[in-house]
Every structure is written in C-alpha cells, then in structure tokens.
Copies of this chain bind each other. A is one copy, B any other.
Amino acid sequence: MRLIADNLQITNLEFRQAVIERNQTPIRACVQRCVKAGAEAIDINAGPLTKEPEKRMAFLVKTVQTVTTLTLYLDTTNTAALKAGLAACKNSVVINGISLEPEKLEKILPLAQEYDTDVIGYLLYPNGQVPKTAEDRLTVAAELFSKITRTGLEPQRLIIDPIVPPLIWEDGAEQAIEVLETIRTLPDLLGFPVRTIAGLSNLTTGRGPKEKKLLVERAYLPMLAASGLSEILLNIFHGETVRLARTCKFLRASKIFAWEIIP
C-alpha cells in the first residue's frame, strides 16, 4: 500500500499565495516535510486553477521537483493546467483523475495516452454523482474500464478510486462498507490485479472534533488495507495514522515477521 501525501493543497492560503507570487519556499518546505514523514508519492492538488493555469501548474510541478524525485499525482480539473503540468514533469506522474463524466473522458483521458501515464478513475456516474452500493460502483467500474480499453490505453494504467463517502452523508457509514466490498471485488470483476486508491480524509469531511476524526480514520484505514487497497491518499503529517498504515502494509505483505519491521 503506497502512502501518498495529500498535504499540498492549493486551498491552503499559504500555498495559494506562494503560487501567485512564485515563491518556492513554503511549497518546498511542505514537500520536504512530507518526504521526511514517509510519503511515497506527492499529490499536487491544484484545484480548478482559473487564472494562469499553465504557468501556475508548471511552477508547482517544477518547485516540487526541486526537492523530491517521488511520483507526482497531478490533481486538477483544468485540462490546460494538467497538460502544462505533465509537460513539466520529470518525475513519474499519475493523472488524478478521470471518471465517466464526458468532459473528463474527452479531454483528460487522451492526455494519459499522450504522456504515457497512470490515471486514476473515479467511480462516478456521468453526471458526477456517487453510486450508492458496491454493485452500483462495480457497474460503473466495468463501464469505465471498457471506455478506457477502447481508447487503447493499457488496462494496467488504471487506478480505481471507489469514492470514500463522508460519514455525515445520510448513508455514509453504509457506503463506507460498500467501498470495502468494491475494492475486494474489483480484481475479480476486471480479471486482473487492478490497483485501487482511496482518499482517507473524505471519510471525515465536514465539521467534527479532530480527535474523533482521526480515530474514525484509524478504524477505517486497516479495513481498506485488508480489502486489498493499493494506494492511500492521506495527511502524511498524522503520525499515528501513518504508523498504522505502515503496520497494515507489513501485516499484508510480510512473509517473515520481526518486530524491527514495525514502525
């Protein structure tokens, strides 16, 4: 299970300001701290980037690359920005992401082929709504898979995000369990060991006491790991959660156990 830091988010005022002023310092500091905390990849969440999309995305990518060679996940809904980011990438890169939404299939999916990258596929309906049950999610996955293979992109390029629901949704807790079944069933449905990814903080979106949010995330994380999740997007500064994630990794992957491998 790969740990991807979700800490670099343009919604953070400090980073937004840094991008506007082309100030590398806070961005570099954040990424260095992510690497130190155990990040195995960096998500660059650039948002919609309505102003100067190409320049700002290229600046972000170049800045991050000054301090790490880790894989970058380019997380923007702006096609022009995404293209500029891909062009600026020297590190290996993942497009985050597409779905059955027509605009994403038409504009973003071709970029995965053009730049020969992995691509995250969100299990959303064409109208952007989230499927409720595991069965609904798997139906969407099959359709997304067929769209992707029809374009000629290798199936192995796909990383599926089943959409972790906020618990505050009316059926959030039920959907969280459906997500586990989705992850477990996908490789069998698609006929190959398809990779999966989940955004842990989605679970606790909205208002709520911080300690309880962390507790709920720590309860759900090993459930995701046990279901076979390949990659997890999380706040890499949550030390206890990261220790738990690394322990889950060892539990799932270790042939021979020794206390030394536990963080």
Chain A: residues with CB nearer than 8 A to chain B? 167-168, 170, 172-174, 176-177, 180, 208-209, 212, 215-216, 218-223, 225-227, 243-244, 247-248, 250-252, 254-257, 259, 262-263
The 13 listed contacts between A and B (C-beta, < 8 Å) are A167-B257, A173-B255, A177-B226, A215-B243, A215-B244, A215-B247, A215-B262, A215-B263, A216-B247, A218-B218, A219-B248, A219-B251, A223-B251
Given contacts A218-B218, A251-B219, contact A212 B176 (CB under 8 A): no
Select which of B212, B218, B226, B255 is within 8 A of A227 by beta carbon: B226
Report the Cα distance A190→B165, complex, angstroms: 32
> Secondary structure at chain A's binding surface: helix, strand, loop or mixed?
helix
Q: Are A252 and B177 in contact (CB under 8 A)?
A: yes
Q: A167-B257, A223-B225 are in contact. List 14 more A-B contacts (CB 8 A).
A: A173-B255, A177-B252, A180-B226, A209-B259, A215-B243, A215-B263, A216-B262, A218-B218, A218-B222, A218-B247, A219-B247, A219-B248, A222-B222, A223-B226
The 9 closest A-B pairs by CB, nearest first: A223-B226, A222-B222, A219-B247, A167-B257, A212-B262, A173-B254, A208-B259, A173-B257, A219-B248
Q: List chain B residues, Cβ under 8 A from A225.
A: 219, 223
Q: List chain B residues, Cβ under 8 A from A176.
A: 251
Query: Which one of A167, A208, A263 has the highest number of Cβ atoms from chain B below 10 Å of its Cβ?
Result: A167
Given contacts A212-B259, A212-B262, contact A177 B251 (CB under 8 A): yes
A70: shortest Cβ distance to chain B, in Å? 24
Query: Residue on B with the closest CB to A176?
Result: B251
Q: List chain B residues, Cβ under 8 A from A172.
A: 257
Query: Residue on B with the closest CB to A209?
Result: B259
Query: Which one of A174, A215, A257, A263 has the highest number of Cβ atoms from chain B below 10 Å of its Cβ?
Result: A257
